[in-house]
Amino acid sequence: MPHGRLGILFFEPCLLQMNIVEQQNNAAQSEVIVRIATAEDKHYAQEIVDEMYFSAQARGTGIARRTPEYVAHKMEEGKSVIAHGKDGSWAGFCYIEEWSHGRFVANSGLIVSPDFRKHGVAKQIKQAIFNLSRTRYPDAKIFGLTSGMAVMKINSELGYEPVTYSELTDDEEFWKGCRNCVNYDILMSKNRKNCICTAMLYDPEDHYTPQETLENFEEKKEEFARLLQFKKSWFLKAFLRKDKNKKANGGGNTNRHKALLHDLYH
């Protein structure tokens, strides 16, 4: 057994219409094709970055903004996975980024078209990009940061384990990507040792089986959820106190940041 880190912590017409929509969605799901993207897929790039932006706006979160050219380059390099319907309609996307001279890789920019959500497309893409990462970077540690329980579960199914931030890459370029996130001030106040997100890692030289990591997640998912809520509440209170002190001292325009944090966590 490897030395892993699992201890870290209506009415009938309406019903008929709903059934029709569900059948259509199920049909769409069964027709989704998930594959490695190529240069021939560059025409999807603008749609992909637009949806990344709109999705982040809807969730009230920040992401590292990517241009269509950046996404197209990932396609040309063979470092991304795309999903689409048999009719060519775009369904989802994810790409690989390498850090610390290839010692770490991250599966970034996971996005699914609204028309294909809640049908397992994200899970298929995550599996495909994970397999591609293992093929292209067999010795690299694969990591990610997430504040969502659904993504934590998918990662656990792949063999990821929750870890401390100190086990992630120290590449400055990676951490610069967090600057667009609404939680960036929290990250920096903790000296990049903690934040709202949970850090997860797959270490090819020291890991449990996917079955073991999934079992651990299922056993401790309520603890993970409580920890996530605790971090949100605790970090928020600290920043609300800081904003209050700044306002009392007449410093800066703190109302916008305070309101944003309040909307996110209340």
pLDDT digits (tens, 9 = 90+) for 209-262: 999 999 988 998 898 888 878 777 766 565 555 555 555 555 544 443 333 333
How far apart CA 43 and CA 76 sit, in angstroms, is: 12
Work out the burial of residue 210: count CB atoms within 10 Å of its CB; fewer than 13 is exposed, 13-18 middle, 19 or more buried: middle
Selection from 124, 63, 148 nearest residue 97 by Cα = 63
Q: Residue 22's pLDDT band (boundaries 50, 70, 90)?
A: very low
Full domain range(s) for residue 255: 12-265
Q: Are the beta carbons of 110 and 126 closer than 8 angstroms?
A: yes
> Residue ranges of the alpha helices (H) in 144-254?
149-158, 172-176, 184-189, 210-248
How far apart CA 195 and CA 190 sit, in angstroms, is: 7
Which residues on neighbouring strands pair with residue 105, listed in sequence order?
A: 98, 142
Backbone angles phi, psi at 206, to 5 degrees: -155, 90
DSSP conformation letters of 21-63:
HHHHHHHHHHT-EEEE--GGGGGGHHHHHHHHHHHHHHHT---
Query: How confident is the model over 140-168, as pLDDT tens digits?
Result: 999 999 888 888 999 999 999 999 999 99
Residue 2 lies in a domain: no
Residue 201 lies in a domain: yes
Residue 112 parent element (H or E): strand 104-112
Q: Are the beta carbons of 4 and 162 closer than 8 angstroms?
A: no
- Position 65 scores a pLDDT of 72
Residue 83 lies in a domain: yes
- When divided into structural domains, the chain yields a total of 1
Q: Are the beta carbons of 158 and 122 closer than 8 angstroms?
A: no
Residue 204 lies in a domain: yes
Residue 101 lies in a domain: yes
Query: How confident is the model over 80-92, as pLDDT tens digits?
Result: 999 999 999 999 9
Radius of gyration of the chain (CA): 20
- Position 17 scores a pLDDT of 34
- Position 159 scores a pLDDT of 96
How far apart CA 50 and CA 158 sit, in angstroms, is: 28
Residue 6 lies in a domain: no
Q: What is the mean pLDDT of residues 96-107?
A: 96
Percentage of the chain exceeding pLDDT 70 = 74
The CATH number of the domain where 214 resides is what?
Answer: 3.40.630.30
Q: Which two tokens stand for residue 25?
A: 């969605």
How far apart CA 32 and CA 38 sit, in angstroms, is: 17
Q: Are the beta carbons of 261 and 236 closer than 8 angstroms?
A: yes
Q: What is the mean pLDDT of residues 47-62?
A: 80
Among 7-21, 73-87, 137-151, the minimum mean pLDDT is found in 7-21
Residue 37 lies in a domain: yes
Residue 26 lies in a domain: yes
Q: Please list, in sequence order, all residues whose beta carbon lies within 8 angstroms of the beta carbon of residue 77, skipping any fewer than 6 positions away.
A: none
Q: Output 93 or 256, whichever has higher pLDDT.
A: 93
- Position 78 scores a pLDDT of 98
Question: Is the pLDDT score of 202 beyond 70?
Answer: yes
In the block, tokens 């009392």 appear at 248
User: Mean pLDDT score of the chain, rounded to an integer?
Assistant: 80
How far apart CA 97 and CA 211 sit, in angstroms, is: 26
Hey, is 124 helix, strand or coil? Answer: helix
Q: Are the beta carbons of 200 and 153 closer than 8 angstroms?
A: no
